[in-house]
């Protein structure tokens, strides 16, 4: 089976949904979601908010400076300024859509937006919907997309690989023609053709054993783009959120940065505060500093966790500012208003990704990358808190404008693409191979390519990932594909890209900290990796 759209959007989080809503209404759009449209993406689980200069005492230059400082001099100033200056208009757009931002009554009696402050920010500029901003944003965008006559939602479908002119042996510049897609329920693979294809599949944080991300964060877009011939950048910068609830039943439940923004203090098991020993900003230091400090103290003491204490605030304050966090902690036996809660770092955000320009274009004509899949230059060596949802919105709008121009100049024409060929493969009777390799990839990344790295650890990881990739490729070539196998294949490839990038960086900067090169180099530069030309995978 084959179907044609003007635009294919692979991914249904904030970036993909925003792109669909900003594209011209005459374009026919196919929007792929791995599972249900509402709850699958990382967007849905985001708690904190969206950073935006909305207060009269705040300024664009302040937001830019905070972002550049958090990014350890590796942020691209043009991407940073574009994103920051887009924020107020995008917040207005969301408000018009019905986004239920939290409000408060000011001294003048008017109900304005409630702004909170998070680590690395010099002002209160994080606009939010209680402590479940992502859920409110996803719900708002989904409701509008479902009303759009030009968007066809394809749920329970996972992209297998991109189809490019180069893969088909055509001459000239490489161009993305569409994608092969696995329908998860039937197991059938079909092709989608399009004039433009956008990757908005999120990050790759499931590559680590402990993560705050949903199960689908397997780096699909990054892996597909790499196999198609796109460069990737800064893959070594994986952000670990400092404070995930430490509990066997919590599934790495995230404790928002805003808890520290509202006065929460990190404590050792004996009740001693410690962040002031690591940074003058103490508990409001950027995430890389806080995560490294916690990791250091846990290893020094042999402790399973540290503690986050906001019990000096009233129960009413905590319940009103963090209702969902309070409720979940209570379900697990912790009363935030009476006691500190145990927390540990967990893999949270992929700062690198597919290299793009300010229009979200990749190295391949007709292929765009958005959100956590992309490396726009905004995050540098460490993402500033609550800049991620903003980036999704800003670059989705930029991509929509560019796609509209490109398709008006060269309207897409349906074309026949080769059918998926599974005539030489059989059903697997050993799914344990997929399960075993999945766990091994994640454990080796946690042990050898985590918060603190060394040359020896990276070398071990590099040797082992090569063996795993060979095993996975052999398995992929002999058996019918499944969603688990697709994700494993992508996960292992992204793990290799992270390891290779980390080996190339001979310094410590931002989220990449190595004991062998503890100081930063005098000049900051991106880590770029270019795929070597190869035959069809």
- Report, as residue numbers or ranges, the catalytic residues: 287
Buried b (16+ CB within 10 A) or exposed e, 181-220: bbbbeeeebbbbbbbbbbbbbbbbbbbbbbbbbbebbbbb
What H or E segment, with its residue span, contains residue 350? strand 341-350
- β-bridge pairing 29-32 and 2-10: parallel
Sign of the torsion formed by the C-alpha atoms of 530, 521, 61 and 292: positive
Whole-angstrom distance, CA of residue 256 vs CA of residue 239: 14
Contacts of 121 (CB under 8 A, 6+ apart): 51, 66, 261, 384, 385, 386
C-alpha 166/C-alpha 164 separation (Å) is: 5
Residue 178 Rama label (left phi>0; alpha psi -120 to 50; beta): left
* Cβ–Cβ under 8 Å, residues 526 and 233: yes
Residues in the chain: 537
Helices (H) and strands (E) in the chain, counts: 14, 20
Query: 389 Cβ partners below 8 Å, 6+ apart?
Result: 14, 43, 46, 49, 50, 133, 134, 137
User: Beta 151-154 vs 29-32: how paired, if at all?
Assistant: parallel
Per-residue buried b or exposed e for 480-509, using 16+ beta carbons within 10 Å of the residue's own CB: ebbbebbbbbbbbbbbbbbbbbbbebebbb
Alpha-carbon distance values, 372 to 8, 142, 376, 413, 446 (Å): 18, 19, 9, 30, 20
Alpha helices (H) in 229-305, listed in sequence order = 257-261, 287-301
Paired with 163 in beta bridges are 178
Crossing angle of helices 455-478 and 432-448, in 10° steps, is 160
User: What are φ and ψ of residue 58, in 5° steps?
Assistant: -100, 160
SS3 of residue 221 by DSSP? helix
Residue in the structure block whose two tokens are 């950048």:
233
Enumerate residues 6+ apart whose C-beta is below 8 A from 375.
Answer: 232, 233, 234, 351, 352, 353, 354, 355, 356
Nearest to 254 by CA among 343, 349, 339: 343
For the chain, the straight-line distance linking the first and the last C-alpha, in angstroms and rounded, comes to 21
Asked if 194 and 8 touch (Cβ cutoff 8 Å), the reply is: yes
């Amino acid at each position: 089976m084959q179907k044609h759209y003007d635009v294919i959007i692979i991914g249904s989080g904030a970036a993909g949904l925003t792109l669909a809503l900003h594209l011209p209404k005459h374009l026919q759009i196919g929007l792929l979601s791995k599972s249900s449209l509402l709850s699958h993406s990382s967007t849905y689980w985001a708690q904190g908010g969206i950073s935006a200069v909305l207060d009269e005492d705040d300024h664009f230059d302040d937001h830019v400076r905070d972002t550049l400082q958090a990014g350890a001099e590796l942020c691209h100033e043009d991407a940073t300024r574009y994103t920051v200056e887009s924020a107020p208009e995008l917040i207005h757009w969301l408000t018009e859509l019905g986004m239920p931002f939290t409000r408060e009554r000011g001294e003048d009696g008017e109900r304005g937006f409630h702004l909170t402050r998070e680590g690395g920010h010099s002002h209160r500029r994080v606009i939010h919907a209680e402590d479940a901003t992502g859920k409110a944003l996803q719900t708002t965008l989904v409701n509008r997309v479902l009303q759009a006559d030009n968007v066809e939602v394809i749920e329970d479908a996972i992209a297998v690989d991109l189809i490019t002119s180069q893969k088909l042996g055509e001459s000239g510049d490489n161009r993305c023609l569409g994608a092969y897609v696995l329908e998860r329920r039937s197991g059938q693979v079909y092709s989608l053709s399009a004039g433009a294809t956008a990757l908005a599949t999120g990050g790759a944080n499931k590559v680590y054993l402990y993560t705050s991300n949903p199960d689908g964060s397997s780096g699909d877009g990054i892996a597909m783009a790499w196999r198609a011939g796109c460069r990737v950048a800064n893959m070594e910068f994986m952000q670990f959120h400092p404070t995930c609830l430490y509990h066997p039943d919590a599934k790495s439940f995230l404790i928002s940065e805003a808890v520290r923004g509202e006065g929460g203090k990190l404590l050792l098991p004996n009740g001693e505060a410690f962040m002031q020993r690591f940074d003058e900003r103490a508990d409001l230091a950027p995430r890389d500093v806080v995560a490294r400090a916690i990791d250091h103290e846990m290893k020094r003491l042999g402790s399973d966790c540290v503690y986050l204490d906001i019990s000096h605030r009233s129960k009413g304050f905590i319940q009103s500012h963090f209702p969902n966090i309070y409720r979940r902690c209570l379900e697990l036996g912790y009363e935030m208003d009476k006691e500190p809660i145990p927390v540990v770092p967990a893999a949270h955000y992929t700062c690198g990704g597919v290299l793009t320009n300010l229009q979200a274009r990749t190295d391949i004509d007709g292929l765009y990358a958005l959100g956590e899949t992309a490396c726009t230059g905004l995050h540098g060596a460490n993402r500033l808190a609550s800049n991620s949802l903003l980036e999704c919105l800003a670059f989705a709008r930029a991509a929509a404008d560019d796609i509209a121009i490109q398709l008006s100049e060269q309207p897409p024409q349906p074309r026949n693409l080769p059918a998926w060929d599974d005539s030489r493969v059989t059903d697997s009777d050993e799914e344990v191979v997929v399960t075993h390799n999945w766990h091994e990839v994640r454990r080796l990344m946690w042990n050898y390519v985590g918060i603190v790295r060394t040359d020896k650890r990276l070398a071990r990881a590099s040797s082992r990932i090569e063996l795993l990739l060979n095993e996975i490729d052999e398995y992929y070539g002999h058996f019918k594909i499944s969603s688990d196998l697709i994700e494993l294949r992508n996960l292992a490839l992204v793990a290799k890209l992270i390891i290779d990038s980390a080996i190339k960086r001979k310094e410590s900067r931002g989220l990449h900290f190595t004991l062998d090169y503890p100081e930063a180099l005098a000049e900051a530069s991106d880590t770029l990796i270019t795929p070597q030309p190869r035959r069809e995978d």
